[in-house]
Amino acid sequence: MLNNINWVNVVKWIVLSLGYYFYYEKVMPYLVDSWNWAPTFNLIIVPFLLGLVAYYVFSGEHLNRIGYVFLIPAISLMPQLAESDPAKPGLQFFVYYGLIAGFGVGAFVGAGSRELILRKLKKRESL
C-alpha cells in the first residue's frame, strides 16, 4: 500500500495545507479589518484560485489531483470546526464546506482547462 503513494505529492500537499492554514490564521483576519471586499475575496476567490493552481501543482491522474486539492482545506481547517459561535451554532460548518467547495470548483476548472488545452494541441499536431 505504501509503495503506491506518490510521496512528492504528499510533501506538496503538506506545504500547500500549511500555507493555506497560515493564510487563514494570519492574513485573512488582517484583510477582514482593512478591506470591504474581504469576505468575497477570502471565501470565494482565494479558494477558487488556490484550487486551480493546486491542481496544476500536483502530478498524477485527475482524480488523485482533485482528491489532494479537496484535502487542503479539509485537513488544514479542521481545528476551526471545534470553535462555534454561541449565537449561530453550526455556522462554521457552512463556511467550512463552502471553502472545500471553492477549492473543488477550482480543481475541476483546472482539470477541464487542462483537457481543453491538450485537445487543442493534439488537433494542431494532426494538421
Domain ranges of the chain: 2-126
pLDDT, tens digit (0-9, with 9 covering 90-100), for 84-120: 778 888 888 888 888 889 999 999 998 888 888 888 8
CA distance 83 to 111: 34
CA distance 63 to 43: 24
pLDDT, tens digit (0-9, with 9 covering 90-100), for 37-79: 878 888 889 999 999 999 999 988 888 888 899 989 888 888 7
